[in-house]
Structure 1
């Protein structure tokens, strides 16, 4: 559940990112009018994807730590990629110190982040990609809101965002939720509840992912096991057993990488050593040490046990982002979002950042979903010797990631404190 707080929401930017099942279905019958003509994602050609920077690892860890600290005994799951898309949407309209703080938190300039996300969007446009992207901008059809064409063009060319004019009544909430549901194959059926009278704009980004394992689990090698929580309580689990060629080892944890079909993405499981808590492990890591930990140990394979699990998570991230140094955008007096446009009711500022995620890991593969909502208010190969075999059985709390093999960018990062 989202933490509740009183919000002033005259203009809402809604980047929604959802990693989910298969291809997207289009919904018809909306009351919105599309304004997208002439605006399209700019093709970058066959540019080789660049490896993730240490700043991306730092940002991913900082975000997870901030969320996991709130309820350390509960499962946490965030999509750094989702939040980066959300922040890129904000950066397209930010200036001054507001922009500088977001750039510092992400470790990238607005142009660099936009370029990286644009490159990913172009890659995702491939029909064979396991990752697909959809973006949209919803504007209140009103004379009181004046959104810059330059802003809409920037969102369109860098993120492929479609634009819609809508009445912002109950039909618009239905339309936005329908759009989200369609582009997440109903894994995230809704994100917007009642649209407040002050709301002027929603930005929506949907990212869809589904991938089977490169080598699906044989059901014969799924067996009952026991998962022991950090407080000593135990849970019955279905443990999926396999041998993985990528074994990971650091000072406080061991792990493995299990590839999805085509080796485009991989699942990373990190098991803290005996006597080390998940919090201890997360506190010990920074971008450099996480990057090093994700390097497989030579000539070593992993005898792996991965429990079948499902996690649903939701949080409001303004405090977490503020802890990373993004503060001005949440302050009505200091926020500078003038490049988005203007409102008759006053200057714009972010009033909330909602994040919601879902993941299901089973014998066939993984499906996952994430949404990020930013609300803005206006004052209202093998060696000759036999490989060494190491055991990594995730039968106690662990950290996991889904990473893009081409760049090793964390798409999801989370903790499993109990198995549901």
Structure 2
């Protein structure tokens, strides 16, 4: 890993509820709290748990392929796009995808029901947080696709289904425009062209915009040093706020949980020892995430967090193959006969693109996952915690523990 950068891990967890903060540090806290605990069944909880396991596996693989770089992904977006695709898989391809997503032993109804529940429950949960989910399926004109496959994804994923002439240069613009609208213009160009073998696109898009419950005063933003993994320092715009929030202080780790709006969504920021960051990042898993959540204590503290904004894009073929679903990318072995009985289909590409901005008022984030289907024939002392070296942060909606976004920053950057 390059030593000139420092790493930040960004997970956005849907439905892992946190305690609402109790002190007045900005106008949001003047609004009566309407914190909502979303009920989940035992079966739904199992699917959500599987999603979270997949999130850490995915994040680990993406970090390995992007060593020395800032990383930002949405496991929830990837999972939802692959969840739609799973409805068209069959035989060994279905089994491999099911295992990669952590759904072994679960039936399709249980999986689809949970995606449907999360789609309906996570949006419009908090008036101070915008969280939008959009799904679409784009079909090549002239190819016969099974109506049952399209109907299942329309019913459970609210997928828009459209048929396009993929040979028309305007088709790329049409799909990119849909993505731009679904992400509030934060991600505008995912597809450069449509290859001749492509016959279908299954797309998930997420948009998140949350206002901090305790906003960072703009007048307290200062240029400060941020320590890199190699011991050198670079300047960053450091924000500071004092508030009563869940914190954890250990010998080699500090963490805080910063709520948005009424408290249903939150960002958990985790900073291990700088010298231990790389090993901690490699071993960071669901058990460690849960341990941190369980050991948080509500306490008054001063938090310093750098501003940052950047984009990230990755082809996930290698990552997903390493996680066990390589057969889905093999044009000779893949079985997507529940999508079409007349075409031999395989996954040609899984493209993942994201955007994140963290500033004084809150966090804005967006993610898109494109699954391209190809055809072979076609205390008394107030603690101060300043995140001025490698750290991990997690944004969560705090009741069912569904991970949405994960990332990592090796150096705070602000792209204009």
Alignment of 1:129-144 (within 5 A): 130-142=130-142
Q: Which residue number in structure 2 is paired with residue 253 of structure 1?
A: 253
1:251 is displaced (CA, Å) by: 7.6
Q: Which residue number in structure 2 is paired with residue 187 of structure 1?
A: 186
Q: Which structure shows the bigger proportion of residues in helix conformation?
A: 2
Q: Which residue number in structure 2 is paired with residue 409 of structure 1?
A: 402
SS of residue matched to 2:333: coil
Q: Is the contact made by 1:79 and 1:413 (CA closer than 8 Å) also made in structure 2?
A: yes
2:363 and 2:376 mapped to 1: Cα distance? 42
Aligned residues: 367
Q: Which residue number in structure 1 is paired with residue 89 of structure 2?
A: 94
Alpha-carbon deviations, 1:291-336, whole Å to 9, x = none?
1212343354443211001121111111111121112111122211
Q: Is the contact made by 1:226 and 1:395 (CA closer than 8 Å) also made in structure 2?
A: yes
Q: Which residue number in structure 1 is paired with residue 111 of structure 2?
A: 113
Q: Residues 116 and 251 (structure 1 numbering): CA distance in 2 closer, same or farther, change over 3 Å?
A: farther
2:215 and 2:405 mapped to 1: Cα distance? 21
1:114 is displaced (CA, Å) by: 2.2
SS of residue matched to 2:170: helix
Alpha-carbon deviations, 1:24-61, whole Å to 9, x = none?
xxxxxxxxxxxxxxxxxxxxxx9724658543332222
Q: Which residue number in structure 1 is paired with residue 5 of structure 2?
A: none
Alpha-carbon deviations, 1:183-241, whole Å to 9, x = none?
21211112122222332222222222211111211112222210111123321111111
Q: Which residue number in structure 2 is paired with residue 41 of structure 1?
A: none
2:330 matches 1:331: yes
Q: Is the contact made by 1:303 and 1:389 (CA closer than 8 Å) also made in structure 2?
A: yes
1:388 is displaced (CA, Å) by: 6.7
SS of residue matched to 1:319: helix
1:349 is displaced (CA, Å) by: 0.9
Q: Which residue number in structure 2 is paired with residue 159 of structure 1?
A: 157
1:61 paired residue among 39, 48, 56: 56
2:39 matches 1:48: yes
Where structure 2 has 5 or more consecutive residues not aligned to the other structure, the ranges are 1-11, 14-36
Q: Which residue number in structure 2 is paired with residue 286 of structure 1?
A: 285
2:225 matches 1:226: yes
Q: Which residue number in structure 2 is paired with residue 214 of structure 1?
A: 213
Alpha-carbon deviations, 1:59-97, whole Å to 9, x = none?
222111111112321101110101111110111101122
2:300 matches 1:295: no
Q: Is the contact made by 2:140 and 2:199 (CA closer than 8 Å) also made in structure 1?
A: yes
Q: Is the contact made by 1:248 and 1:295 (CA closer than 8 Å) also made in structure 2?
A: no
Q: Residues 387 and 325 (structure 1 numbering): CA distance in 2 closer, same or farther, change over 3 Å?
A: farther
Q: Which residue number in structure 2 is paired with residue 320 of structure 1?
A: 319
2:70 and 2:213 mapped to 1: Cα distance? 26
Q: Which residue number in structure 2 is paired with residue 273 of structure 1?
A: 273
SS of residue matched to 2:120: helix
* RMSD of aligned residue pairs (Cα, Å): 2.4
1:251 and 1:162 mapped to 2: Cα distance? 50
SS of residue matched to 2:325: coil
Alignment of 1:342-381 (within 5 A): 342-344=341-343, 347-379=344-376
Q: Is the contact made by 2:212 and 2:260 (CA closer than 8 Å) also made in structure 1?
A: yes
1:395 paired residue among 380, 388, 393: 388
SS of residue matched to 2:39: coil
Greater relative contact order structure (CA < 8 Å, 6+ sep):
2
1:412 and 1:47 mapped to 2: Cα distance? 19
Q: Residues 252 and 320 (structure 1 numbering): CA distance in 2 closer, same or farther, change over 3 Å?
A: farther
Q: Which residue number in structure 1 is paired with residue 147 of structure 2?
A: 149
Deviates more, 1:230-239 or 1:357-366: 230-239
Q: Residues 71 and 191 (structure 1 numbering): CA distance in 2 closer, same or farther, change over 3 Å?
A: closer
Where structure 1 has 5 or more consecutive residues not aligned to the other structure, the ranges are 1-17, 20-45, 381-385
Q: Residues 198 and 54 (structure 1 numbering): CA distance in 2 closer, same or farther, change over 3 Å?
A: closer
1:124 is displaced (CA, Å) by: 4.3
